[in-house]
Structure 1
Amino acid sequence: MARGKPDPAALEARVGHSFRDKDLLHWALTHVSASSHRPDSYERLEFLGDRVLGLAVAHMIYESFPGDSEGELSRRLAALVRKETCAEVAEHWGVGPHIRLGEGEAQAGGRKKRAILGDICEAIIGAVFLDGGAEAAERVVREAFGPKMMEAGRNLRDAKTALQEWAQARRLAPPRYRLVSRSGPDHAPAFELAVEIEGFAAAMGAGSSKRAAEQAAAAAFIAREGVEA
């Protein structure tokens, strides 16, 4: 192996799964910018991994919190499967050096982008499911997401939910999200949105998807106004 070249076996060890089909891991690490055909990128595996992750986490929290109501379980699920948490897991796995990116995306810092890291996490989980089955995938999810489930103080509500509940408690109209701008190429868009609540100045947020930008805007409003999330 050439000096400095990322070791796939080391990544497999950190993920907790040794792939029989090494192409699946390669596929899971391939961004659309490095693929000549969109189906050859990680997007299909990400689609599958998102569903596998949701089921595995739902099973884990169902067992771990027998006294929780359906609503409490739903909030725990949302907090654990959100892209931000998936990006944290991908960083813990150390996937950055292994991601295959086009030259432009690599120069733009794609290996550190939270959206890409979150996608890669889900794609790897999808690849594990195809390579080793549901039990292998759930084992990987429990190992990676279990400690986060028990982290003291982990917010069970996302920023949008917290802001909406804050507004409702004060009998204000629900927050409104307005698209301010969209830029960047199709494979790496950037969105800027504003969240507006009557009687307050708008707060801005940016992200690689409208959903991420909305969350960022809500978080900015919460931080500025001292909303207890």
Structure 2
Amino acid sequence: MFGWLLHNKHTLGVKKNIIYFSLIVTGALFFSFSRAAWLGFVIWLIVLWWQRLQLRESQVTQLKYAALTFGILTVLFFPMVSTRVAPSATAQTEQRSVAERIAGFSQFKSVMRDHWFAGTGLGAYTTRLFGATGDTRTPVHAAPLLVFAELGLFGVALIVTIAWLSRMRISTRTVLLALIPIALFDHYLFSLWSGQVVLFLMLFQMFQIRDNDKADDNQQ
């Protein structure tokens, strides 16, 4: 995805390096074994392929390489992929994951009864989980809900503003389409510093590309 965003403005030699880098990132994404990340990647591929007539030939080529890399890794590591995508009834870790998510949504509703307007404050969500102890004190597994819980109505306004500002351009819409599944099924984009770095870097690149596209349109 970073390769896609950076691909427009560079020389041929740098573009090749970016393609190689994007393939490495695709591999890293695969080996995260995050179903939300996989879903976001697949949606990103489908949307871009559907709109491929609007893309440059080099971008379509990069898209093919990314899809091929992901496909090859899926075949090579299919037993592990099948465990993540279609967990068996004996997969205790998967059962625990589902149970944690269900409990998290229930805890979210109880917290928001008292903090729907201003939120709990940044990083304070888990301290408001009354009756939860140990491993059960985890953020709700949905970044938008966690933003709402910690920032209140301001968080909702922030999400709506980002979506509104990115509505017109294929490059910015594509980034959001890739981020949405990850955000809906996990919380690390907002709760962990590493996820925050990824999120803010993606948003920065998204709006930078949008501004560059506008400048190109004005020159034409």
Greater relative contact order: 1 or 2 (C-alpha under 8 angstroms, separation 6 or more)? 2
Tell me the TM-score normalized by structure 2: 0.26
Structure with more of its chain in strand, by fraction: 1
TM superposition score normalised by structure 1: 0.26
